[in-house]
Amino acid sequence: MRTLRVALGERSYPIHVGSGLLGDAGLIAPLLAQKRAAVVTNATVAPLYLGRLSAALAAAGVDVIPVVLPDGEEHKNWQTLNLIFDALIERRAERRTTLIALGGGVVGDMTGFAAATWQRGAPFIQVPTTLLAQVDSSVGGKTAINHPRGKNMIGAFYQPRLVLADLDTLSTLPERELKAGLAEVIKTALIRDASFFGWIEANIGALLSRDVAALEHAVLRCCEIKAEVVAADETEQDLRAILNFGHTFGHAIEAGLGYGHWLHGEAIGAGMVMAADLSRRLGGLDEGTANRITRLIERTGLPIAGPAFTAERYIELMSVDKKVRDGTLQFVVLEGLGKARVRSDAPPATVKNTLSAWATASVPTLPG
C-alpha cells in the first residue's frame, strides 16, 4: 500500500492505493466519529464488493447501513439522491454517521453530495472501484448531481476524510469502463506532465491488459497530480480549472446524447481530441503533437469524434455549462504537452472549425 496526502489544512486527508484494502477495516474504522456508517453503492458493484467491505466493517464493530442505487449516469439526479436520504432517515442515521461511497464516479459524486447536505454535513469516505474514480473523481472534493439540462449543475465542494483505492476492484471492471478511466489518465498527463504522457504511450498495452504494476503507477501518478492541483486551488478559482481539459466539449456531448449513452470518459476522449485541435488552431500545439494526442486516444479504444450535432447545438449545450463566465465560453487549451491554461478568447469561428472537423460521428452511436 502506498499513501499520498491531499494538503488542505484542517481538511487534509490521505489516499491509500494498493491491493486488499477493501477487507482491511483497520484503515476505515478508526476514522469513524460514530461506529455507524452508510455504505452507498449501486446494483452492479453491490454483488461484487458490498459484502466484503460490510463484513470487514461489521467485524470491526461498525453498524452498516447498506444503500444500493440503480447504476448509471442517467440516475445521477434528485430522485436517486433521495433514496440515500430516505435510507438515512429510515435507519435514524445521525449527523456523525459516516457516508462511504463504494463505486465509480456517479456513486462517489452522489454520495459525496448526500454527505455534504445530510444534516448540513456528515463525514464522508471514498472507496472508488473504477479506474475513472480512482484516478480522478474520488480525489478533490467535487460532488454533484445533474440537472436535466446541465451536468453537475447542483453540488458542493466537500472533502472526504479518506480515499481508499483498492486496485483489486479493477479486475472486474468492464473493458469499456477501463478505457473510459484511461481517458482521465491521459488528461491528467496532458495538462501537467509530458513525461507521464510519454509513459502512457509506452505502456498503453500494459494498461489495457490490466497489468497491476502499470495500473498502480497510473493511479498513483494521477492522484499525485490531482492532489497538487486541488491543494493549490480547492474551489476552482483558477488553476483547478485545467482539470477540465476536454470537458467543455465532453459535457456538451454527454448532455446532447442524454446521460448514460456514452460514458463520461468516452465523451472526454472525443472532447480531448477537440480541445487538442482547438489548441492547435490557437497556436498552442503543433500538428505533430495534436496528432500524437489523437493517436493515443484512438489506441486506447476511445471515440475520437464527437456526435454530429450542428455547431450551433454544441454551442448551445456548452453555454449552460459551469465553465461559462460573463456569457463567454471558456476552454482549457494546451500550450505544449503538460502545460494547460484557460482561455476565454477563442474566436467562435475557430471553435466552429474544430467542431466541423471532429463532430462527425453518427448519432446515436454506442461505442464499444
* Positions in the binding site for a copy of itself (CB under 8 A): 34, 78, 82, 85, 89, 92, 94-96, 113, 116-121, 142-144, 147, 149-150, 152-157, 235-236, 319-320, 322, 324-327
Answer yes or no: 323 catalytic: no
Q: Least CB distance from residue 78 to a copy of itself, whole Å?
A: 6
Q: Which of 86, 175 has the CB closer to a copy of itself?
A: 86
Q: Least CB distance from residue 204 to a copy of itself, whole Å?
A: 33
Answer yes or no: 322 catalytic: no
Q: Which of 326, 345 has the CB closer to a copy of itself?
A: 326
Q: Which of 240, 261 has the CB closer to a copy of itself?
A: 240
Q: Least CB distance from residue 315 to a copy of itself, whole Å?
A: 12
Q: Which of 10, 287 has the CB closer to a copy of itself?
A: 10
In the DSSP assignment, the letter for residue 102 is E
Q: Please tell me which residue in 10, 92, 120, 287 is annotated as part of the active site.
A: 120
Q: Which of 138, 300 has the CB closer to a copy of itself?
A: 138
In the DSSP assignment, the letter for residue 24 is -
Q: Please tell me which residue in 42, 146, 152, 244 is annotated as part of the active site.
A: 244
CA-to-CA distance for 144 and 139, rounded, in angstroms? Answer: 14
Answer yes or no: 147 catalytic: no
**DSSP code string of 161-217:** SEEEEEGGGGGGS-HHHHHHHHHHHHHHHHHH-HHHHHHHHHHHHHHHTT-HHHHHH
Answer yes or no: 192 catalytic: no
Q: Please tell me which residue in 240, 261, 281, 322 is annotated as part of the active site.
A: 240
**Long-range contacts at 83-87 (CB < 8 A, ≥ 24 apart):** 84/38, 84/40, 84/110, 84/111, 84/114, 84/118, 85/114, 85/118, 87/38
> Count of alpha carbons within 13 Å of 346, Cβ hemisphere only?
31
Q: Which of 79, 362 has the CB closer to a copy of itself?
A: 79
CA-to-CA distance for 75 and 77, rounded, in angstroms? Answer: 5
Answer yes or no: 36 catalytic: no
Q: Least CB distance from residue 209 to a copy of itself, whole Å?
A: 37
Answer yes or no: 240 catalytic: yes
Answer yes or no: 177 catalytic: no
In three-state secondary structure terms, 3 is strand
CA-to-CA distance for 182 and 119, rounded, in angstroms? Answer: 36
Answer yes or no: 251 catalytic: yes
Give the phi and the psi of residue 319 in degrees, each rounded to 5: -70, -20
Answer yes or no: 291 catalytic: no
Q: Are 151 and 254 in contact (CB under 8 A)?
A: yes
Q: Are 103 and 129 in contact (CB under 8 A)?
A: yes
Q: Please tell me which residue in 16, 75, 161, 226 is annotated as part of the active site.
A: 226
Q: Please tell me which residue in 36, 75, 76, 142 is annotated as part of the active site.
A: 142
Report in angstroms the alpha-carbon separations of 33 from 30, 98, 100, 108, 125.
8, 7, 13, 20, 12
Q: Least CB distance from residue 221 to a copy of itself, whole Å?
A: 26
In the DSSP assignment, the letter for residue 350 is H
Answer yes or no: 42 catalytic: no
Q: Least CB distance from residue 322 to a copy of itself, whole Å?
A: 5
Cell, residue 179: 478505457
CA-to-CA distance for 239 and 332, rounded, in angstroms? Answer: 11
Q: What angle do CA 116, 170, 299 make, to 5 degrees?
A: 110
Q: Least CB distance from residue 95 to a copy of itself, whole Å?
A: 6
Q: Which of 120, 287 has the CB closer to a copy of itself?
A: 120
Catalytic residues: 120, 142, 184, 226, 236, 240, 244, 247, 251, 264
